[in-house]
Amino acid sequence: MSLKDQITEDMKTAMRAKDSERLGTIRLLQAAMKQKEVDERITLDDGAIVAIVDKLIKQRKDSITAFEGAGRQDLADKEKAEMAVLQAYLPARMSAEEVTAAVQAIVAEVGAKGPGDMGKVMGVVKTRLAGKADMGQVSAAVKAALAG
C-alpha cells in the first residue's frame, strides 16, 4: 500500500472514530499534498510525500518554539499533538551513529577538504539521506566531519 493510500485510510479511520484532532491533521497533510500536485501538475510518490511531511514537522517545531517562548503552552501542546500524528508517516529514522558514518563516507567519496566544501557535500547528502534522517542532525554531522 502506498503512503498516499495509507493516509487516506487513516483519514477514514479517524472519521469513523470521531477523532477530530487526528482527522484535522491528516486533512492538513492531504491539503498540502493536493496543493503540490496541482501546482506542479504531478502525481506524488512516497518520497515526495515524505518530503512534505518533513516540511510540516519542521513548521510544527518552529511553532512550538515560538509558542513556548510566548508562554502559550496550550498552542504548543496542540502543535506537539499534530507533530506526533505526522511523524507516523515518516520512515524509520537513522540513528546519530548511522548519520555520522554515512556523512563521513560521503565526505571521503566527494573528496571534501574543509568547511568550504560544505555545499558540495550537502548536495550529495540531501539526495541520499532525504526522508531517512533529520536534516538538522545531518547538517551538524557534515560540519563536524569537515571541521576535523
Last residue of a domain, one of 66, 87, 108: 87
Residues 59 and 115 in one domain: no
- Say what the pTM is: 0.74
CB of 107 within 8 A of CB of 144? no
Residue 148 exposure: Cα atoms within 13 Å on the Cβ side: 10
Residues 82 and 110 in one domain: no
Q: In this predicted structure, what is the pLDDT of residue 148?
A: 63
Residues 42 and 76 in one domain: yes
> Which band of pLDDT confidence, cut at 50, 70 and 90, is reported for residue 30?
very high
The residue segments making up the domain with residue 23 are 3-87
Domain of residue 108, CATH code: 1.10.10.410
Residues 77 and 115 in one domain: no
Residues 74 and 109 in one domain: no
**Which three cell numbers, joined as nine digits, stand for 111?**
573528496
Q: In this predicted structure, what is the pLDDT of residue 106?
A: 82
Residue located via cell numbers 534522517: 133
Q: What percent of the chain is predicted at pLDDT more than 70?
A: 97
Rounded mean pLDDT of the chain? 87
Query: For 64-98, how does the pLDDT look when each residue is reduced to its tens digit (9 = 90+)?
Result: 999 999 999 999 999 999 999 998 988 877 777 88
Domain of residue 80, CATH code: 1.10.1510.10
Q: In sequence order, which residues have a C-beta less than 8 Å from that of residue 86 and are 6 or more positions away?
A: 25, 29, 53, 56, 57, 60
**Which three cell numbers, joined as nine digits, stand for 17?**
472514530
